[in-house]
Structure 1
Amino acid sequence: MQTIFQTIKEIAIEIDHAIKTEDLGYSDSSNSSGEDQLKLDVKSDFLIEKAFASVDIVKNLVSEEKEGVLELHENGKYTVCYDPLDGSSLADVNLSVGSIFGIYEGELKGENLVASAYVVYGPRIELMIATKEGKPLHYRAQEGLFNFIGEVTLNEKGKLNAPGGTQKNWCDYHKTFVDDLFAEGYRLRYSGGMVPDLHQILLKGGGIFSYPGTSDVPNGKLRQLFEVIPFAFMYEQAGGQAVNNKGVRLMELVPSHPHDTSPCFFGSNYEIEKLKEAYGVTA
């Protein structure tokens, strides 16, 4: 597993260099969901595939930017599912973006995720790694090397509210839930980038990131294998919760297709319990 984490560190340095030096425009291609790809999406995907090609414990790669499964090493143990550059459309206005990695052993479903990691590319490069052995570990790059900063733990209650999805397409009870948090004094923190927004909540001690099902996208927008499950694991290891619109743990998801999506809510215990109450799913 440490070989995989070391490879992610090397990838992070390369992608950060690409963000800072390469063309930020659109390519002539689209991804598996039919979305136009930025050149940075394509380059980041290429860098990750190239790096893991020499890691023999990785059996398969599944990319948010490609359809299907890419077999690398027949005798490998793990499948790495990744979003090469989440929030890439924010790069041209110089906002933070990120890469997300979920490491699975066996069938691709939540309970088989054994580790996750994400990288934030901003003023500094930051890396968070979570395994089943304890709290998420926070690293920061300096001159190409990642220095350990410390473990990350969520408070029982936070102060940040990051509500995703187009507001006019929210259901009434979700809007009421969001408004009630603001009435309690929560601060809006939403950049449109999943990685930096969830990273901020983790480092600032708590709050909630929500991306509900909406009238135009009832199953949510965020992809289970690449985005939802890896962050669910990260938040649970930090002492928080991650659930869907029915109050079910996101770690219990069993995708039927690599690009399945889900409504998702990540946060401290207080906010998630309020979310369950608002959605009428309190046990």
Structure 2
Amino acid sequence: MQEIIKAIEEASIEIKELIETGDTGKSDQENSTGDTQLKLDIASDIIIERIFKQLPTVKAIVSEEQEDIINLNENGEYLIAYDPLDGSSLVDVNLSVGSIYGIYKNEFNAKNIVASVYVVFGPRVEMVVAIDDVKMYRLKHGKFEFIQNIVLKQKGNLKAPGSTQSAWAPHHKQMVDDIFNDGYRLRYSGGMVPDLHQILLKGGGLFSYPGTTDKPKGKLRQLFEVFPFALAYEKAGGGAIDGHKRLLEVETTHIHDTSPCFFGSNEEIKRVLEVYKAHG
């Protein structure tokens, strides 16, 4: 596992340089879900794939930017699903973006995730590793140094409500309105990584990306985004659900499956469960 963490550190240092100097324009390619790929997405993907291919412990990898699983080493122990540069469209307006990694064994599904890592590229570069607990490291002078353990409070005061509001179900909209009426603060950049990172570091709150009228199964992808953060939030003492059950109990039928998702401290997750149970 440490070999994989070191590889992610190496990739992150290269991606940091790429973000600072690379082309932020669009490519003429689309990813598996029909989104136009930015040149930074493609370049980040190439960096990560090249570095993971050097590791004998990695059996296979799959990227959000590619259609299929890439088999590497038949006798490898780990499978890695990753989003090379989540929120890359925010780079050209100088907002934080990130990379997300889910590390699995045997098969790519929630029950087999054993670790997750995400990296935030902002004013500082920070890496958060979830295995038995959740640890944060910061890039200083070319090396990642341990900063702190991350533990969520039972209740937070931040709310990051994702997706297009016009497509929300009425009960979801009412829940969000009620949360804000209770004094929660809006924190939403449009980047999954920085928004979830902020809730973790500030002690708690709720990030939501529900199923909507145009995307009933949500937008965020299970293997690359949802399950890695679900593991991080649970290991930090919080919760992660699809509105009805733990995200780490959700089944995956295809590597690019999506899921509604809610991440937060325990009081906020309890609130979501109560609202969604009342509305089927």
TM class by shorter chain equals over 0.9
Secondary structure in 1 matching 2:224 = helix
Identity %: 58
For the aligned residue pairs, the C-alpha RMSD in angstroms reads 0.9
CA offsets, 1:11-49, max 9 Å, x none? 111001000001100011111111100000000000000
Q: 1:276 maps to what in 2? A: 273
Structure 1 unmatched runs, 5+ = none
Give TM-score scaled by structure 1 length.
Answer: 0.97
Determine if the alignment matches structure 1 residue 40 to structure 2 residue 37: no
One-letter amino acid of the counterpart of residue 249, structure 2: E
Structure 1 stretches of 4+ moved >2 Å:
none
Task: Tell me the SS of whatever aligns to 2:40.
Answer: helix
187, 212, 215: which one aligns with 1:189: 187
Kindly state the Cα deviation for residue 172 of structure 1 after the two structures are TM-superposed.
0.5
2:84 paired residue number: 84
Task: Within 5 Å, give how 1:107-118 maps onto structure 2.
Answer: 107-118=107-118
Contact 1:108 1:254 in 2 (8 A): no
* 2:197 match: 199
CA contact (8 A) 1:240 1:269 kept: yes
The residue number in structure 2 matching 1:228 is 226
Show the 5 A alignment for 1:151-166: 151-166=149-164
1:253 to 222, 231, 250: 250
Which residue pairs with 2:214 in the alignment?
Answer: 216
SS at match of 1:197: helix
Query: Who is 2:106 aligned against?
Result: 106
Residues 1:183 and 1:18: Cα distance change in structure 2 (over 3 Å): same
CA distance in 2, matches of 1:276, 1:195: 23
* CA displacement 1:197-219 (0-9 Å, x = unmatched): 00000000000000000001110
Q: TM-score, normalised by structure 2?
A: 0.98
Alignment match, 2:7:
7
Q: Return the alpha-carbon distance in structure 2 between the equivalents of residues 236 and 172 of structure 1.
A: 28
User: What is the CA distance between 1:279 and its match in structure 2?
Assistant: 1.0
Matches within 5 A, 1:118-197: 118-131=118-131, 133=132, 135-197=133-195
- Asked if structure 2 preserves the Cα contact closer than 8 Å seen for 1:219 and 1:262, the reply is yes
Q: Residue 226 of structure 1 aligns to which amino acid in structure 2?
A: F
Report the alpha carbon displacement of residue 281 of structure 1 after superposing the two structures with TM: 5.9
Q: Distance in 2 between matches of 1:47 and 1:34?
A: 22
> Counterpart of 2:116 in 1: which secondary structure?
strand
CA distance in 1, matches of 2:278, 2:264: 16
Q: Is the 8 A contact 1:60 1:72 kept in 2?
A: yes
Alignment correspondent of 1:68: 68
